[in-house]
Amino acid sequence: MATWKTILLQDSASPLMEQLSFFHDHTMMVLVIITILVGQLMVNLFFNKFSHRFLLEGQLIEIVWTILPAITLIFIALPSLRLIYILDEVNNPIVTIKTIGHQWYWSYEYSDFKKIEFDSYMIPMNEMKPFNFRLLDVDNRIAIPFESQIRMLVTSADVIHSWTIPSLGVKIDATPGRLNQISFSSNRSGIFYGQCSEICGANHSFMPIVVESISPNYFVKWISKMSD
């Protein structure tokens, strides 16, 4: 999870977030190179007392500074297009979870199994344990099996919310009257934290999300326990 001293992206917990992190690093490298080159050119122009007599109205240099940005954009666009294909929906998800945003809590439903429904509220300050994270922990976490494709169906009962888990690379709006869908998977076990990322009212900051990624065997036991 992110801490106060974190200045970069969170550690990835899904193949999608890994690729997003790689794309971020790739794009930042290109931008740093461009910034250094342009900065050096500007400094040289400011402090250079000489002028090139063939520079003004030069067709060759105009062609060069038109082609170079186009090539740079291609180097950025190709990995971006690859990410769009990675984001494509899966045909056979292992688990489908329905998520409904409320002011100001989340409710979940595992409709693939027996009727499993529960609400997820933030743990108040006076009920927190020493191991709980302030403003981030909830009373009922959702569980998913790792290395399995999860389909999330998201909607809202009142206003627009946004279901977001940064370490999984997931961010999807919960819109009233509309059912949005996203697919993701976790490549390791762990507890992943998120928050509503759409300003939804006075208690927008107090509707966190906690996903617990566990082994498929433990997930089956959890489902059996919740069904009882």
Look at residue 2 and tell me if it is in a domain.
no
For residue 32, pLDDT beyond 90: yes
Distance, in Å, from the CA atom of 146 to the CA atom of 150, rounded to the nearest integer, reads 9
Chain Cα centroid distance, residue 213: 16
What 3 state SS string does 193-224 have?
EEECCCCCCCCHHHCEEEEEEECHHHHHHHHH
Task: Provide the CB-side half-sphere exposure for 141 (13 A, CA).
Answer: 17
Q: Does any domain span residue 9?
A: no
Can you give the pLDDT at residue 65? 82
Do 206 and 137 belong to one domain? yes
The answer to whether the pTM exceeds 0.85 is: no
Do residues 214 and 134 both lie within one domain? yes
Residue 55 pLDDT greater than 70, yes or no:
no
Q: Who has greater pLDDT, 88 or 40?
A: 40
Domain membership flag for residue 170: yes
Average pLDDT, the chain: 86
The answer on 210 and 128 residing in a single domain is yes
- For 175-196, the pLDDT digits (tens) are 998 999 888 888 888 899 999 9
Contacts of 92-95 spanning 24+ positions with Cβ under 8 A: 92/149, 93/149, 93/150, 93/151, 93/183, 94/145, 94/148, 94/149, 94/150, 95/144, 95/145, 95/148, 95/150, 95/151
**What's the rounded Cα separation, in Å, for the pair 176 and 100?**
9
Q: What is the mean pLDDT of residues 196-217?
A: 90
Q: At 16, is the pLDDT very low, low, confident or very high (cuts 50, 70, 90)? A: confident
| Same domain membership, residue 29 and residue 115 | no
Q: Does residue 100 share a domain with residue 84?
A: no
Residue range of the domain that includes 73: 15-49+57-88
d(CA 136, CA 211): 11
Residues 67, 182: Cα–Cα separation, whole Å: 38
Flag whether 4 is in a domain.
Answer: no
Strands 142-145 and 208-214, by their bridges, are parallel
Residue 8 lies in a domain: no
Number of domains in the chain: 2
**Pick from 35, 69, 88: which residue ends a domain?**
88
Does residue 13 carry a pLDDT above 70? yes
Q: Which of 73, 69, 100, 191 is nearest to 142 (CA)?
A: 191
